[in-house]
Structure 1
Amino acid sequence: MLNQEESRKDLGFGTKITSEQSRLINKDGSFNVRRVGDSSLNSVNWYHRLITFKWTKFLGLVFLFYFILNLIFASLYLLIGVEYLEGISNDHQQHPFWEAFFFSAQTLTTVGYGRISPTGFWTNAVAAFEALVGLLLIALATGLLYGRFSRSVPRIRFSGHALIAPYLDINGLMFRIIHERDSELIDLDVEMTLSCLDVLPSGAKTRKYYPLELERSHVNYFPLNWTIVHPITEESPLHNATAKSLNETDAEFLIIIRATDETFMQQVHARYSYHHEEILWGAKFEPMFDTSAQGNIAVRVSDIDRHRSASLNT
C-alpha cells in the first residue's frame, strides 16, 4: 500500500529530477525539457510551429517560401526554353528570367493575366503541376491563417517577483496577475504547487511536490488585477521556511491558471513559476488601480511589480 509520501502529487515531472538550480518551468511558461535521440520528423510539429510562430516570423517564412518556389518553377521554364512561353516581349526591357518568374507567380496563384501562355508539352505539364501546387498551398495557407486567428491566446502577465508579505496576523506568499488583452476572461481557477528536493534516509535526493492552499483559488470575473495569496499557517509547507532553506531545497513554485475566454468561449490556460531566488522577503504590493472623478476604474498595468518594504509578522 502506498504511503502518504509516495502518493503525493508530482504534476508529471516525476521525483527523479534532482538537479539543483534548474527550473521545471521557464519564464515564458514553456517546460524546461529538451528531447534528444528522437527522429527529426517526430520532433518537429510543423502545424504547431506555424500556428504558434510570431506574426513577423510567420509572414517572413511565407514570403520566403513563396519566393523560393517561384524561383524553382521559373528555372524550370528557362530550362525547357523561354521560347515556349508565348507572349514574352523585349519591349519591356525585362530579363526573360523575370518574365518566367512573374508568369510562375501568376500560375501559382491562378491569377493568369493571359499575356504569357505556355506552349509545348513540357511547358504545359510544368504549368499544370504548378497550378495544382498553388491550389494546395492556398488551401493550406487559408487553414493556417484561420487557425492563427481562431486560436485564443491569453496574455496573463505575472508580477516579476513573488513576495513573502504580512497577511492578516500571519504572513503569506503572494504574487499578482493581470490580463493584458481587451478580451475578458471568466471563471478563473488557479493552482500553486511547491516543488523542492528532499533527502531520504539513504542520503539520496528526491523531488517532492506540495499543493499550496490558497486564500482564493477561483474568481468569476477578471477585469482588474488579482493578488493570489497562500497563507503561511502552521499546516503550510512554508511554515518556518527561510530564504536559506528554500535555496538549499531548490524550491520552485509552479502555477497553472485555467480560464474561459469570453470572446471565443474556449478554455485557455497559462503556466508560470517562481524560483526561490525570485521570492522577496518582507515586501508588500502597492495598489495599482484608482477611481477617477467620472467613476471609472483605471488599472496601471505597468505597476504590477510595484511594491514596498513591510515588516513580517512574528
Structure 2
Amino acid sequence: MKSKMGIKVSKLDEEKSRKDSGFGTAATSTRARLILPDGTFNVTRKGQSFSAWLNLYHRMITMNVFSFVLVIALSYFLVNLVFAVIYYLIGVEHLNGIEEQTKFISKFWGAFFFSSQTLTTVGYGHISPLGSLTNAVAAVEALIGLMMFALITGLVYGRFSTPSPKVLFSGNILVSPYLDINGLMFRLINERNSQLINVEVNVMMSRNEKDEEGKLTRKYYNLALERDMIQFFSTSWTVVHPITPESPFYNETSESLKASDTEILIAVEGMNDAYADPVHVRTSYLYNEFLWGKKFVPVLSEKGTGYVLDLKKINECVEAPLNN
C-alpha cells in the first residue's frame, strides 16, 4: 500500500513539475503548428456562442486600418439608408424644404441627405421635419447618431491608445558556433522608433515523445538562454540558447527534429516607454525553419557620430562550421 501510495505521490509530483505551454499534451502531426509566425495561436474554436464569436469590440480594435474605415463608412451609409427609407415611406411632403419632384430618385436622395444631417446633428436648416411622426423619427435618429459617434470615438481612441509593437523576428532559427560549443540562435529587431525597455524573452521547445507506456505525447522544455532579459532594446538582439549536454536540444539533428515535430515557441514582453504599458509579441519556428552551420551577419554599423540599424539584413547569414 505504501509503495502504491509512493508511486501515486511520485507521479503527482512529476505532473506538477511538467512544463506545459497551454496547448496540452496531445501529440500533433507534422502539419500542426502551435503558434503562427505572426504570433496568433493556431486554434479554431468550435461551438462558440454568437456573442463570443462576434466579440465586436475586439474585432474593431484589432482589424487593419482599411477594414476599420470601411466598416465605419458602411455603417454610416446603412443607417442613413434605413432612415431615408422610413422618411420616404412617411412621405417626403413631411420634410419641409425638399422641392416637389416627380422622380423617385430625387425625392429619395433628399430624404437620405436629410437623414445624414440629422444623424450627425449638423442640421443645416434647409430641410426640417413636419408633423409629429416625422419629428419623432428625427428625434430617435439624432439620439442614435449621438450614441453611434460616441462609440466610434471610443473605438478610434482605443486603437490609438493600444500599444502595437512591431518586433521583427528572423525568418529562420540558426544552429551556430557559440564560444567553444554550439548555440541555437534567432534575432529580433524593434522596427518602430518608439523604445522598448526591460525586454524579456522566454523560449520553449515542444516536441512529440513516447511516455513510459509507449504513448506519443507532447512534451515542453524551457530552454536556458545566454541572457533572457535586456534593459534597453535599442538595436537588435540575438537570443542564444547554449547547446550543452544538459540542453534538451543536445544531439538533435534535422532528421530527429522532423521526426518529433519539434517547434520552438517564443514569447517576448517588455515596456513601451511612450505608453508606459506592457507589450507582448509571440512567434515560433518549426523543424523545417532551422538552418545548420550558419551565423547572422551584423545589422549595426557606424555612421559619423551615430549608428545605423539595417533592418533589411535581419535574415542575412553566412556559413559558419559548427564546433565538434
| Band of TM-score, shorter chain | over 0.9
| SS of the residue 1:235 aligns to | coil
SS in 2 for 1:183: coil
The answer for the alignment partner of 2:4 in structure 1 is: none
Bigger shift: 199-208 or 264-273? 199-208
TM-score, with structure 2 as normaliser = 0.94
Comparing 271-280 and 37-46, the one that deviates more: 37-46
Task: Specify the alignment match of 1:301 in structure 2.
Answer: 311
Match of 2:114 among 80, 95, 103: 103
Distance apart, 1:40 and its partner CA: 1.9
User: Are 1:18 and 1:205, in contact at CA under 8 Å, matched by a contact in 2?
Assistant: no
2:289 corresponds to 1:290 = no
Q: Deviations over 1:105-162 (max 9, x none)?
A: 0100001011100011211111011001001101101110110110001100000000
Q: Please name the residue that 2:163 is paired with.
A: 152
Superposed CA offset, 1:187-207 (max 9, x none): 000000000000123321110
Alignment of 1:216 onto 2:227: yes
2:292 is equivalent to residue 313 of structure 1: no
Give the number of the structure whose residues are more often helix, by fraction: 2
Kept after mapping to 1: 8 A contact 2:185/2:238: yes
Identity of aligned residues (%): 50
Measure the CA separation in 1 of the matches of 2:151 and 2:141: 15
CA distance in 2, matches of 1:4, 1:72: 63
Q: Which moved more, 1:148-157 or 1:197-206?
A: 197-206
> Partners of 2:72 and 2:256 in 1: how far apart?
51
Specify the SS of the correspondent of 1:305: coil
Q: 102, 127, 134: which one pairs with 1:116?
A: 127
Task: Answer yes or no: is 1:75 the counterpart of 2:60.
Answer: no
Asked if 1:256 corresponds to 2:267, the answer is: yes
Q: How does 1:174-253 map to 2 (within 5 A)?
A: 174-253=185-264
One-letter identity of the residue aligned with 1:56: F
What does the per-residue CA deviation read over 1:45-77, in whole Å, with 9 as the maximum and x for residues that have no partner?
100100011111100110011011111100100
Structure 1: gaps (5+ residues): none
2:94 maps to 84
Q: Which amino acid aligns with 2:195?
A: E
Q: Which residue of 1 aligns with 2:60?
A: 50
The amino acid that maps onto 1:194 is: M
Verify the 8 A CA contact 2:183 2:243 in the aligned structure 1: yes
Point out the more displaced range, 9-18 or 299-308. Answer: 9-18
Give the TM-score of the pair, scaled to structure 1. Answer: 0.97
Structure 2: state its 5+ residue gaps.
Answer: 1-8
Match of 2:3 in 1: none
What amino acid is aligned across from residue 305 of structure 1 in structure 2?
N
What residue is the counterpart of 2:71 in the other structure?
A: 61
* Deviation at residue 3 of structure 1 after TM alignment: 4.2
* Paired AA for residue 212 in structure 1: L
| Conservation of the 8 A alpha-carbon contact between 2:210 and 2:216 | yes
Q: Secondary structure at the match of 2:153?
A: helix
| Contact persistence 2:27–2:216 (CA under 8 A) | no
Structure 1 vs Structure 2 CA RMSD = 1.4
